[in-house]
Structure 1
């Protein structure tokens, strides 16, 4: 459902409350009913007090006092209970919504993040969700309270004197009409403010995330100026919004003051002409405040609600992005004579989904990866090597062609496919936690001995043993207390502990010294030849290339050559030229 209107946003918010909605509504209504009831009772109490004074009637005075005390005690006991219960169910809803949104984000396909930046998502998960909480806790309650307050006061006014009631309702209706005219303008301005805040948040996130680069290239002034520019836009937008709101508040104050004065003048005139009694005027004064506040407040409350609805809409739009279908069935590979494990057949891919050749990363690409084979994917930067790994992982879909897997199952799901693949990206993902927790991400069921074995295979074991806390050593945010090579070794250990038939590596040894790299490559060859793992590695370094069973050379979006390194050096001049003009040639 597209959230194209405020009503749809409110309905979606109701749906998000799930089983919390009924108790939330119950406590909300009774909380406001108590407040309204006390206000109406006070009006009649004041009327009786004045009547008692004028008529010197002690019994009336006693009844009015007892009624006030009983109402006050009941309200003081039940109001806090109802308010607490209402807040509890709102907080529970916000907690569930935050968890659901984060889970939804984690299930989004990779291309979705090409359009959604980090600052945007952070802003939606924090600020916009807070706006939704404000709607539940404040704005809906305010509007319900105003409606109850106004309705109760109007009914009581008609009971007391219909002439007062008609005058007050007429003035209140005019105030509501005035407020409603400002609602859409304020909501549009609020959306601009939230968008500029998201852009500003993105700049802050980028500056903090890339602090090393900022310092190294002396980009402090650039990032400071960018933030200052975006901060100025945010300040202009928010000032414009505040100015509109302040003008509305001033007009409301003027209307409320005029309304009160007019009602008083009508009442004084009626009392002067002996058409009404003074105690009735006192009660009307108490109720008039409720009606006037109700009518002026309903418009103000709706404007505030619309302001927050724009934030709630931005948060709820997270759920509009389509998730990956983890149950998606992939075709089984045909039974070729040599029984390949993975096949890409005439695959084409471009980030803009265009059929134009100059927009494609690769075109009409076909190759096989067999069981027990260690293949190396090479080519100039931008030739599509990392994109091929993304396609195999189904992070991105081919524009044309197909990818097929043969593991002896008729059909496999997307979830099953990723269970079969261990992957080490160019930039290792390091999570805050212990070394053991980071390695165990590859296999939550792994035993301690399996974790240590994976660390040995990744040449990470000696480093772990040198640490006072060993596997329990806490890793700082983004692996700040690890070197680049140590991060890669940890990521390799995580991949090895998964014990998957496929291993995909994207420049996974780029930060290692030659000795460590040689040990890792030896481990990979052993996994391929002895354990029958199928390994595809993107690399620009000679050790992986010279040790690979097969080299896949990409050029100009096509697979230009396939074979072992020695054969390609002798028989393919393009490959030889590529090797010779790069830093990898030894």
Structure 2
């Protein structure tokens, strides 16, 4: 069971705590066996011989032993809680580290809800195994301790008792296999629920504007119903495990009582030994029952662990070389040399692209949907690796550069602005984490954001909701531009930053964009061709190839694809 071994391997950094926890579990197990051992004296010395001294020491011994058991159980429980939480912290961090290192191609193949479910729900399931690990060892100690004791008392009775254990083991194994499968499916169903909720919350405006509430309810009910059905299957198995095992135990106990009573009548066993044996046998059923439950916990934890480790083990398709070169500064020269790119070895999205952009040039990318514009700009900060050829910044292949040193000189302003939960100041500070308050205010002024920020209830300390939903689209866009100003990049990538805005806001953003683009190499993805007229170069892409290059006036004169697109948009605007 490699996944189980891998989960347990995390205990390696907590050997001292684990050793003390195991010691305490062993002490608890020994204290658990003690009442069965003392029952022989209770019956023979106290009840039969009426020995008052024996009564005193037995009562005192029981109090002392149970006190020790309580202390040991507390220490074990606290230690294992500490160790489990420490390990879960390490696992969550490992998941986040891998997610941060993975390229965009990984996220394009994953559902957000499933990823969130793995890092939250699946990791929490591992807690059940981690906190119970020393209890598991303690149950094994108690199991073998009780077995040794009953063989010591009467080996024939013990043999009869042991006969029922294989039946119990077979049932445990059967239930475990079923619970492992169901546990994995249960977590998948929870991920489906998370996905539906995440998509609804993210796209709540679309849902309401298209009156898709019933559609969302149906999708949620399907996911919720599937989760309910799977959970009930697991519940039935869990509910059946204990009573079935207890029934088999009771049948065995009745047989033992009958044969033991017969041995007492024949004089081969005294009453104290029989009562002690029966007490030990009842005690033996406790670790068996606990172990049967633990088998289900292990099965569910292994299923959850497999899903968590799929994230941690996800292969990196964009890796930084061991001898990566740091980019000390950035002039802004960008060159695509015979670049081709395909997603997952499918048909190329870009094919044999060659272009050299000089420092400070403004380059617009235009073309029909699916032409490869977004893919083109995503190759510059190395969000993906080229399939063939090379992308160079200041003459250096980006694959040889340190990702952090390269990306610190690149700023992206996407069409859909993402603001994080936190204050306005914190959102701007993402452009430069060690920025001063003065630098943040200056960046906001350059982005034409300062005036509306100071009208907010707490100014720069105003708390923003998830995705900045308490700001207008234009205000959120100006916060994003403030972030870019603060970063002071050598290369700027814009994805139609002025789309879907009112004319007044659009003019403010255009004004700030002109400041931002000054003396910076800029790549603009243009959906509205009116925004690219002043670009130094316009790259016209079609089916992954650059089919035209030139200025606005040059391309209009060529009467090619750009001219067609421009006149088509102009005609639509006139018609409107």
Query: TM-score with structure 2 length normalisation?
Result: 0.92
Can you list the C-alpha shifts for 1:396-437, whole angstroms capped at 9, x where unaligned? Answer: 222222211116899522222212211112221200111111
Q: CA deviation at 1:527?
A: 5.2
| Map of 2:56 onto structure 1 | 62
1:577 is aligned, of 554, 559, 564, to: 564
Q: CA deviation at 1:239?
A: 2.3
| Map of 1:389 onto structure 2 | 377
Distance 1:340 1:535 in 2: 9
| Map of 1:560 onto structure 2 | 547
Do 2:409 and 2:490's aligned partners in 1 also have CA atoms closer than 8 Å? Answer: yes
Can you list the C-alpha shifts for 1:536-558, whole angstroms capped at 9, x where unaligned? Answer: 11122355311212211122322
Can you list the C-alpha shifts for 1:209-237, whole angstroms capped at 9, x where unaligned? Answer: 21111111011111111111222222222
Distance 1:26 1:373 in 2: 65
Can you list the C-alpha shifts for 1:119-175, whole angstroms capped at 9, x where unaligned? Answer: 11111111111110011123x344323211111111222332222222222222332
* 4+ long deviations beyond 6 Å: 328-333, 407-410
Distance 1:332 1:34 in 2: 57
Q: Residue 346 in 1 paired to residue 338 in 2?
A: yes
Q: CA deviation at 1:105?
A: 1.5
| Map of 1:505 onto structure 2 | 494
Can you list the C-alpha shifts for 1:481-516, whole angstroms capped at 9, x where unaligned? Answer: 111111111111111211111111111221444455
Q: CA deviation at 1:298?
A: 2.9
Describe the shift of the 1:76–1:303 C-alpha distance in structure 2 as closer, same or farther (beyond 3 A): closer
2:439 is aligned, of 440, 450, 475, to: 450
Q: CA deviation at 1:244?
A: 3.0
Do 2:372 and 2:543's aligned partners in 1 also have CA atoms closer than 8 Å? Answer: no
What SS class does the counterpart of residue 547 from structure 1 fall into? coil
Distance 2:549 2:401 in 1: 28
Do 2:25 and 2:72's aligned partners in 1 also have CA atoms closer than 8 Å? Answer: no
Describe the shift of the 1:73–1:192 C-alpha distance in structure 2 as closer, same or farther (beyond 3 A): closer
User: What are the equivalent positions in structure 2 for 1:143-542 lying under 5 Å apart?
Assistant: 143-323=136-316, 324-327=318-321, 341-354=333-346, 359-406=347-394, 412-518=401-507, 520-525=509-514, 532-542=519-529
| CA RMSD across the alignment | 2.5
Distance 1:561 1:319 in 2: 44
Distance 2:326 2:339 in 1: 16
2:7 is aligned, of 13, 25, 35, to: 13
Do 1:123 and 1:198's aligned partners in 2 also have CA atoms closer than 8 Å? Answer: yes
Query: TM-score with structure 1 length normalisation?
Result: 0.90
User: What are the equivalent positions in structure 2 for 1:35-114 lying under 5 Å apart?
Assistant: 35-52=28-45, 53-114=47-108
Do 1:256 and 1:292's aligned partners in 2 also have CA atoms closer than 8 Å? Answer: yes
Distance 1:481 1:300 in 2: 49
Do 1:27 and 1:86's aligned partners in 2 also have CA atoms closer than 8 Å? Answer: no
Worse-superposed segment, 148-157 or 316-325: 316-325
What SS class does the counterpart of residue 56 from structure 1 fall into? coil
Q: CA deviation at 1:579?
A: 0.7
Do 1:383 and 1:556's aligned partners in 2 also have CA atoms closer than 8 Å? Answer: yes
Worse-superposed segment, 474-483 or 285-294: 285-294
- Stretches of structure 2 lacking an aligned partner (at least 5 in a row): none
Do 1:441 and 1:494's aligned partners in 2 also have CA atoms closer than 8 Å? Answer: yes
What SS class does the counterpart of residue 122 from structure 1 fall into? helix
Distance 2:526 2:544 in 1: 17
Describe the shift of the 1:245–1:398 C-alpha distance in structure 2 as closer, same or farther (beyond 3 A): same
What SS class does the counterpart of residue 582 from structure 1 fall into? helix
Describe the shift of the 1:399–1:431 C-alpha distance in structure 2 as closer, same or farther (beyond 3 A): same
Distance 1:210 1:577 in 2: 34
Describe the shift of the 1:145–1:522 C-alpha distance in structure 2 as closer, same or farther (beyond 3 A): same
Q: CA deviation at 1:565?
A: 0.9
Can you list the C-alpha shifts for 1:182-241, whole angstroms capped at 9, x where unaligned? Answer: 322321222222222212221121112211111110111111111112222222222223
Can you list the C-alpha shifts for 1:285-319, whole angstroms capped at 9, x where unaligned? Answer: 11101223334543442233212321122122221
Do 1:378 and 1:554's aligned partners in 2 also have CA atoms closer than 8 Å? Answer: yes
Do 1:459 and 1:516's aligned partners in 2 also have CA atoms closer than 8 Å? Answer: no
Distance 1:332 1:278 in 2: 83
Matched residue pairs, number? 567
Distance 1:38 1:528 in 2: 76
Distance 1:294 1:412 in 2: 58
Worse-superposed segment, 322-331 or 537-546: 322-331
Q: CA deviation at 1:526?
A: 5.0
